[in-house]
Amino acid sequence: MPKQILLVKEKIDYLELLKELASEAHKAVQLLGKDFAWLQFARKGINGYTFIENRERQFQILEKVAFKTSKNYQSYPLGVNIDLLSYLVNTTIRDEIFTHALKPHPQLNAVEKEYLNKQLIVPIHENYFIPRHPWFFTTEFTKQSWRAKDLTTGQLFKVKHSRDQNHDFYEIF
C-alpha cells in the first residue's frame, strides 16, 4: 500500500509574520537573559486560560514586539499580532494536541515528552514548524527537507518544503 501524502499549504506572509514575531520575541528575552518560558503570562486549563500574577513586564515586552512587527505587516492589524503572539507564548505543544482532539502517543522518549511542554513559539523560532501540525517533532533537519515523528501516532515520516510566489508547501510522506 503506498504511503499517504499530506500537503499543508500556508500563505507566505502569515508564516513570515509568525517567524518575525518569534525572532523579535527571542531578541527581547535574550537581552534580558531569559528564555521563551519567561514570556508566558497565562496557563491553559480545562475552562480556558488563567492569568499568572505579576506579569506586567511580559505584557510590555510582548506589546513592543507586536507593535514593532506590525509595521512590517500592514495587512495584519496590531490586535492580530498581539493575539498571535499571546497564543504562541501561552500555548504548549501538548495544549495544541488536545485542542485538535488528539492525545500524545504513550511511548515517547524523554526528549519528545519535554518537547510537548514547549511553547508554540519555540518550533517557529527554530524553523522546524509545520503549520497546524506543531506535534510533528523534527528528528533530522536539512534546508529543504527533514525527517519528523508524529508525537500523536509515533509514526516517522519525511517532510519536503517548497514555495511558490504566495504559499509555502509542506509535503509529508
Predicted local distance difference test score (pLDDT) of residue 79 = 92
- Is residue 72 pLDDT above 70, yes or no? yes
Which residues are 9's β-sheet partners? 169
Element at 137 (helix H, strand E): strand 136-141
Q: Quick check: 59 and 65 in contact, CB under 8 A?
A: no
Cα–Cα dist 119/92, whole Å: 4
* Mean pLDDT to the nearest integer, 104-126: 95
- Is residue 1 pLDDT above 50, yes or no? no
Three-state DSSP at 1 gives coil
- Is residue 2 pLDDT above 60, yes or no? no
Element at 8 (helix H, strand E): strand 6-11
Backbone angles phi, psi at 172, to 5 degrees: -120, 115
pLDDT bucket at 6, cuts 50 / 70 / 90? confident
CA atoms within 13 A on the CB side of 154: 5
Q: Where are the domains of the chain?
A: 12-130
Which residues are 163's β-sheet partners? 168
Q: Quick check: 29 and 41 in contact, CB under 8 A?
A: no
| pLDDT tens per residue, range 28-63 | 999 999 999 999 999 888 888 899 999 999 999 999
Predicted local distance difference test score (pLDDT) of residue 24 = 96
Q: Can you give the pTM of this predicted structure?
A: 0.87
| pLDDT tens per residue, range 126-172 | 877 888 899 999 888 877 788 999 999 999 999 888 888 888 888 88
Mean of per-residue pLDDT scores for the chain? 90
Predicted local distance difference test score (pLDDT) of residue 48 = 84
Cα–Cα dist 154/159, whole Å: 15
| pLDDT tens per residue, range 105-114 | 999 999 999 9
